[in-house]
Amino acid sequence: MHEGNHSINIEDTDVALLTFTMQGYSSTNDPWFETYPVEGLLDEGEDVVVVDVGGNVGHDILAFQKKHNLAPGRLVLQDRPEVIANTIVDSSIKAMAHDIMTPQPIKNARIYYLHIVLHDFPDSAACQILANLVPAMQRGKSKILVHEMVMWPQGNSSSATSSDILMMAMFNGTERSISQFRDLAERVGLKIAQVFRSPTTPQSILELELA
């Protein structure tokens, strides 16, 4: 992997390694839908429920689908084309290539889910990723869930602090505090509505909505 222009270029030969690493990393954390209340999302409507933005090969969205079995078309996976080419999702989930540095094409989804994506990027690029979601969001309905390590004023785990250093060294990225996330959100017309702190892992879920 190497960095250029705020985005990470993934050579074909790196995709398998990235995929393996992401699936392994995700399996050490609670699924987002165990921490975030999803009951209100599980009706019989036809709108898109979750867009997993930068969702890699789809391990998170597939786990959600296995648990809640939504109708085809209501879940969307997005990542780079070379990652989507290796997706593990079935046909009930729409897998599409999408560059997160460009405007979000799926409008009015209920949830735009970003799992450990922003920490790969410095503030300018993280703002661009969030800003690209804003025009797609419907006020009062659409939320962004940012699922990441949160750096607390004290008592951070060694996995959080070591990940912070790793992100800085590899990508010019960072783990962020709530006030740093709030700053990013406010710069693009969003606000943090709620924070769901996992009882068992260092990752939390920040629910963002239009300000």
Q: Which residues bind ligand SAM (CB under 6 A)?
A: 7-8, 10, 22, 26, 54-56, 60, 79-80, 83, 99-101, 115-117, 120
Q: Are strands 176-177 and 143-151 parallel, antiparallel or unpaired?
A: parallel
Closest distance of CB 13 from ligand SAM, Å: 14
Given the residues 3, 119, 207, 209, select the one marked as catalytic: 119
Which backbone phi and psi does 177 adopt, to 5 degrees? -85, 170
What are the residues facing 111 on neighbouring strands? Answer: 50, 143
Which of residues 59 and 110 has its CB atom nearest to ligand SAM in the complex? Answer: 59
Instruction: List the one residue out of 110, 111, 113, 126 whose CA is nearest residue 174.
Output: 126
Which of residues 1 and 211 has its CB atom nearest to ligand SAM in the complex? Answer: 1
Closest distance of CB 119 from ligand SAM, Å: 7
Given the residues 175, 186, 207, 209, select the one marked as catalytic: 175
How far apart (Å, rounded) are the C-alpha atoms in residues 76 and 64? 11
The reply to whether 175 belongs to the active site is yes
Q: Are strands 7-9 and 50-53 parallel, antiparallel or unpaired?
A: unpaired
The reply to whether 98 belongs to the active site is no
**Mind telling me the catalytic residues?**
119, 148, 175
